[in-house]
Amino acid sequence: MEIKPEFKPKSIRSFVIRAGRMTDGQRSAFDEYWPTYGLSLFGGPLNVQAAFGNDNPIALEIGFGMGDSLLAMAQAEPGVNFVGIEVHPPGVGRLINTAGKEGVRNLKVYMADAKDVLEDCVPDASLARFQLYFPDPWHKKKHHKRRIVQAEFVALAARKLRPGGLLHMATDWQNYAEHMLEVLKAEPRLENTAADYAERPEFRPKTKFEARGERLGHGVWDLLFRKT
């Protein structure tokens, strides 16, 4: 099958595509497992019962990379339906390949721009959890405007959370953490569950990259906000 991310015409994208070669296993995963795990941007609002066969809570993650932590969360919480959004085919291919071989059934994937999916496919007040882990920090000051965490994006995320739902972000860039905190605190529909930064919750697995960074003395900042 043709392997391309989906985009709305003339949409402003929330990412920059980086080149990456796919392995034969990742490529063949689209033929074998995309019909099971794939969701289309053009399929309309997500019908949880039709997609998952149940009405379990939805946790949505933007930018899952190679998918290791998202897969681990889905396996650890079988009573939660996980929806991942990613535009890089190698990561999507790896995730659905592993999920398919291990028989994971509480997982679906969009290969599309996150803002398009949120606007067109995710009903308001439908998410139990909204996850954004280690997004591109765009660390140069002149590039800060490219960061996904901006007031408009946070307002959109808050709209998609159900009352009491959690918005969880994490970054290993202190400057970005400070920016995230400022933007999140300014959203009137969200309240911080901590004084400022939160402890890493048990449901977020620690990545190999994160563990290596900790050994080198690098910090990681978690932000956990609840919709009022």
> How buried is residue 97: exposed, middle or buried, by Cβ count under 10 Å (0-12/13-18/19+)?
buried
The CA distance from 121 to 113, in Å, is 11
Please give the structure tokens belonging to residue 214.
Answer: 């900790």
Active-site residue 31, yes or no? no
Catalytic residue among 68, 120, 136, 222: 136
- Distance CA(136)–CA(54), nearest Å, equals 34
Q: Are 81 and 106 in contact (CB under 8 A)?
A: yes
User: Is the CB of residue 54 less than 8 Å from the CB of residue 29?
Assistant: no
Q: Are 158 and 189 contacting, i.e. CB atoms less than 8 angstroms apart?
A: yes
d(CA 107, CA 53): 12
Active site residues: 136
